[in-house]
Amino acid sequence: MNFTNLFSPIRIRGLELRNRIEFPAMGTKMATEDKFVTKQLIDYHVARALGGNGLNFTEVCSVYAPAAPKKFLSIAEDKYIEGLKELSDAVHNAGGKVGIQLWLGGLAVGSDPEAKIMMPSDMKVQGGYVIPGMTIEDIKEATKAFGEAARRAVEAGYDCVEFHAGHNYVPHSFISPAFNHRTDEYGGSLENRSRFLIECIESIRNNIPNDMPLFMRIDAHDDYLENGLTIEEIIEFCKMSKKAGVDVLDISRGNFSTAAIKYEVPPVDLPRGFNVENAARIKRETGMVTVAVGRINDPAQAEEIISNGKADMVVIGRGQLADPEFCNKAKSGEVESIVRCVGCNQGCYDGFVSTEVPYITCLRNPALGREEEYKLIKTDQAKTILIAGGGVAGLEAAITLKQRGHNPILCEASDSLGGQFVLAGAAPRKEEMKEAAISMGEQAKAAGVEIRLSTPVTPELIRETQAKEVVIAIGAEPMKLNVPGAELPQVTNSHEVLAGKVQVEGEVVIIGGGLVGLEVAELVVHRSGKVTVVEMLDQVGKDLGDLRKIVVMESLHQAGVNTVTNARCVKIKENSVVIEKDSRIEEISCDFVVVAIGARSRKFDDIKDYCEKNSIPYYVIGDALRARRALNSTAEAAAIARDI
């Protein structure tokens, strides 16, 4: 397919971009503790510039020193200019263009107890503490800080700057009546609530050259906020911002004070391009250059947005996390080779908010954040390597080994590739996961990997292939429920239901309220009379990432699925499930029981024993090692495939 419009250049003031694709500001945790640029962050951006991206934006960059949190970039003092210039120079040398996102974080800087939290109005928080609203002096200091930061961005060689006025940060909190309760000239009417933002825009504009574009990230409207902003108010504000000097509108959605945070890093559960029509309306009614944002992860989708005039540019963020060569591949017509983002959020969002993960990563791209370290090095000792298991872990290992020059033979016991990732794609709203797993199999074939289906790995096969090393990625199987009645005919497991091998109807009880149990509940509730989920822990969905959990729990609530926590199944009868809850025995009537209590690694003692007896190195990865998230599986596969 020809993506002529997507890859046509665009000129904004004195800046010409080679295409209409923006790699947006996304939190990485790659800055130093004291807020400086790192080589890791430079490599991350350079990879996307080399990959053909049109315009890179740094992640949020603090403009005001007292409110600058640790581990986030800062441009609040001159000492940061040198490092930021190294980043801009590197992107330019890679053929790209780069901008800085100017940021005053508000509540978001609370991750650092030393950072000053700034809000337009007094705000009560947990423990009865009140965050005081900004004084007029605070407002003037912040306004000046935006201008000084813009000056530094120019000195550091950036092509443009972006004023972040969305996502619950200080500027958004001023313009939104949900947060701004001031009664002075900075509160009340839309004009007054906009005053701080307009003053910041003017301060920025006065400190950058006339031919440098000023972008602004803005929410299309407020979600889940009482008395929040409407799109009509946003349109009026954007017209004001245009007069003040804004050139480009980057139309986002979401806030981190409510469930609307799901729109900031939208999981697979949200429709692709869910915010595009808002961008189209704002473009139409303001006449401004507009960037569409929100689950745009396919070049054909992006081309349609540009060609139909819905936006002038598109953000492809996580699509380029998953594949830094996204743009080059799309432009050259190699669409089938693109490694697609599946909106799982496991590495990019869950990794970002986790205190245990040093920086973001990606299920589809374990090299994210390790671009230099993980460059593929061709082997000078090609080996035949047998891979047991054709799920995502086995496929990741096989593709990487083949790219390095080895001879991987991938054996899958079933008649198809993709493993549990294909099964996961059977759950509501997760079709893209199934498509990605199937595509991964096709990419392995295209790479020349030898694939043998319906072929379990045995000692005889290892001997026959003369494999020098073995990778065991045979995954896990559903755990069985060990209670009286578990073998009754109306009892099945989650895998059987998701695979469509067993149809359940009537009243259904699901034993296990983790991710898989909840997805089964969503799948069957529309054809069942009543669905009850029984969970031993104090809440369901504990293994779900934060943003996916929001959507899944909303869906369960709307569908009327009943959840029972702090309860365990003690017996199954012909027409009921017996549970123990709060030291009391209860019965739940049902026609079917679905067991979803987790998975246990499949046994491979015969392979292990043969390899050890014959001194053949072997590696156990993914769920075969221990049942966990798919993110762990691909990470382990990538590491092993680079070490062999």
For 267-297, the DSSP string reads -TTSPTTTTHHHHHHHHHHH--EEEE-SS--
| Cα–Cα separations (whole angstroms), residue 504 to 225, 431, 520, 523, 595 | 39, 21, 10, 10, 12
Which residues of the chain does CATH 3.40.50.720 include?
384-477+610-643
pLDDT in tens, 541-600: 999 999 999 999 999 999 999 999 999 999 999 999 999 999 999 999 999 999 999 999
The residue among 18, 88, 91, 11 whose CA lies nearest residue 328 is: 18
Which residues of the chain does CATH 3.20.20.70 include?
10-353
Which pLDDT belongs to residue 424?
Answer: 87
If you classify domain 384-477+610-643 with CATH, what class do you get?
alpha beta
> What's 614-636 look like in SS3?
CCCCEEECHHHCCCCCHHHHHHH
Residues of the chain by 3-state class (helix, strand, coil), percent to 5? 35, 20, 45
Give the separation between CA 382 and CA 480, rounded to whole angstroms. 42
Give the separation between CA 604 and CA 624, rounded to whole angstroms. 9
pLDDT in tens, 296-348: 999 999 999 999 999 999 999 999 999 999 999 999 999 999 999 999 999 99
Percent of the chain residues topping a pLDDT of 70: 100
The pTM assigned to this predicted structure is 0.95
Per-residue pLDDT, averaged over 204-231, amounts to 98
Give the separation between CA 377 and CA 456, rounded to whole angstroms. 30
Which pLDDT belongs to residue 527?
Answer: 81
Assess whether 158 carries a catalytic annotation.
no
77 — pLDDT class (breaks 50, 70, 90): very high
Per-residue pLDDT, averaged over 456-474, amounts to 97
CB-CB contact of 559 with 525 (8 Å) = yes
Catalytic option among 80, 169, 610, 619: 169
Q: Could you tell me which CATH number the domain at 10-353 has?
A: 3.20.20.70
Given the candidates 3.50.50.60, 3.30.360.10, 3.40.1360.10, 3.40.50.1820, the CATH classification of the domain at 491-597 is 3.50.50.60
* Contacts with 391 (C-beta within 8 Å, 6 or more apart), sequence order: 417, 418, 419, 420, 421, 437, 473, 475, 622, 623, 633
Which residues of the chain does CATH 3.50.50.60 include?
491-597
